[in-house]
């Protein structure tokens, strides 16, 4: 039996280019021509772009692909689909169209395995009522798979990572530490059966609106999904985008059973180091142990949503989320930030681009025990 994780050097979202290097690459780009219909671009590292097409409709556009995080082709397909769809859900949108991005070594990988990957993905797409309408494939040394996804959202009801308000409470829907579990799998120190809870979590759709009332939805001020940059990276991006300070209680963060032990053994990915380098100047985690710091920087594949909600509705929203996400928890709070205003890096407006403005008011995220 072919183990997909043995075909690649890095697995899942840990293959993402480090955020610091990505920033350097993007810094060479000139701002696009201003377009008032482009409601959200890449300026705040949000989960997807949003383009207004009418007063009541906007397009949500994203793309996400990676190498296998598990050995089972069918499960890999499910995880890849759930992960790509998550970006649309994180914007408050409804995904509708998906284009596959596929690369695999034609000479060495049996087509039946690729078919199983596609079948797993199709199961999740059908659950999300999203149509697979085509894609692009190449002969490639490494197996890579994912989707470009198009969805729709009401322009007045967009979620983003920019709207967190002082006093909000933060809800995390899925446990963290999945990269630790999949690293142990790749090293042959665990089986898919032993990390079944992590696999199930990764293939669970981050669709939450059907669980909530209209009043609940109105109480949600900011959302982002936790993927390759870890809880630390995505929480930091939300704090900077919203110009707020975020406080997170480590003891309240749901973590996968066994993940901390794996990290203590030193079973790490490169992304643990690069995520830490990306966030350490803007975060204060001095009260955390070395292993706990690794946990918050653990790169997640198809992780949960981090949701900034009104404190008046937080418990009600949490109870409803727990119907689907049993480990969901309130992990912290949002505070108003004193100090300098922030000019965000943007590729689509005429504002002055400040490449290091996010360091002026550090720390943006404070971790407590």
Residue 24 lies in a domain: no
The residues near 272 (Cβ < 8 Å, ≥ 6 apart) are 179, 263, 294, 297, 298, 299
Catalytic residue numbers read 13
Residue 22 lies in a domain: no
User: CA angle 120-126-132, nearest 5°?
Assistant: 80
> Residue 125, CB half-sphere, CA atoms under 13 Å: how many?
26
- SS3 assignment, position 275: helix
Residue 21 lies in a domain: no
Residue 118 lies in a domain: yes
The confidence score (pLDDT) of residue 347 equals 36
Bridge partners of 136, per DSSP, are 101
User: CA angle 301-248-11, nearest 5°?
Assistant: 15
Residue 141 lies in a domain: yes
Domains identified in the chain, total number = 1
Q: How far is CA 360 from CA 42, 233, 248, 346, in A?
A: 21, 17, 21, 18
Q: Are 68 and 109 in contact (CB under 8 A)?
A: no
The confidence score (pLDDT) of residue 13 equals 56
The confidence score (pLDDT) of residue 303 equals 97
The confidence score (pLDDT) of residue 9 equals 67
DSSP 167: T
Residue 181 lies in a domain: yes
Residue 29 lies in a domain: no
Show the domain range for 115: 4-13+36-368
Q: Which residues of the chain have pLDDT under 50?
A: 339-357
The DSSP line for 222-255 is EEEE--TTHHHHHHHHHHHHHTEEEEEEGGGS-B
CATH value at residue 171: 3.90.650.10
Residue 26 lies in a domain: no
Picking from 281, 275, 173, 298, the residue whose alpha carbon sits closest to that of residue 225 is: 173
The confidence score (pLDDT) of residue 2 equals 77
């Amino acid at each position: 039996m072919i183990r997909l994780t043995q075909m690649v050097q890095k697995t899942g979202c840990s293959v993402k280019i480090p955020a610091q290097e990505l920033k350097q690459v993007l810094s060479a780009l000139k701002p696009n021509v201003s377009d008032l219909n482009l409601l959200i671009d890449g300026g705040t590292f949000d989960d997807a772009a949003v383009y207004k097409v009418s007063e009541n409709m906007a397009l949500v556009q994203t793309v996400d692909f990676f190498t296998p995080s598990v050995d089972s082709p069918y499960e890999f397909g499910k995880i890849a689909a759930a992960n790509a769809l998550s970006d649309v859900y994180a914007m408050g949108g409804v995904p509708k169209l998906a284009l596959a991005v596929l690369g695999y070594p034609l000479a060495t990988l049996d087509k039946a395995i690729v078919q199983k990957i596609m079948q797993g993905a199709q199961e999740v797409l059908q659950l999300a009522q999203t149509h697979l309408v085509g894609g692009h494939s190449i002969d490639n040394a490494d197996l890579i798979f994912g989707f470009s996804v198009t969805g729709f959202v009401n322009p007045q009801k967009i979620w983003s990572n920019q709207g967190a308000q002082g006093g909000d409470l933060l809800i995390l829907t899925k446990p963290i530490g999945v990269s630790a579990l999949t690293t142990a799998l790749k090293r042959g120190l665990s089986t898919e059966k032993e990390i079944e809870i992590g696999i199930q979590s990764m293939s669970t759709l981050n669709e939450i609106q059907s669980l909530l009332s209209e009043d609940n939805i109105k109480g949600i001020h900011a959302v982002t999904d936790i993927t390759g940059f870890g809880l630390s990276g995505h929480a930091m991006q939300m704090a900077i985008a919203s110009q707020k300070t975020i406080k997170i209680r480590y003891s309240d963060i749901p973590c996968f059973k066994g993940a901390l032990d794996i990290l203590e053994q030193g079973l790490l990915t490169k992304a643990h180091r690069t995520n830490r380098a990306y966030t350490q100047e803007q975060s204060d985690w001095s009260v955390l142990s070395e292993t706990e710091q690794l946990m918050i920087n653990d790169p997640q594949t198809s992780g949960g949503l981090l949701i900034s909600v009104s404190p008046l509705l937080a418990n009600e929203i949490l109870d409803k989320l727990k119907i689907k996400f049993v480990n969901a928890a309130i992990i912290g709070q949002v505070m108003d930030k004193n100090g300098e205003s922030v000019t965000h890096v943007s590729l689509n407006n005429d504002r002055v681009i400040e490449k290091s403005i996010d360091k002026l008011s550090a720390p943006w995220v404070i971790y407590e025990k």
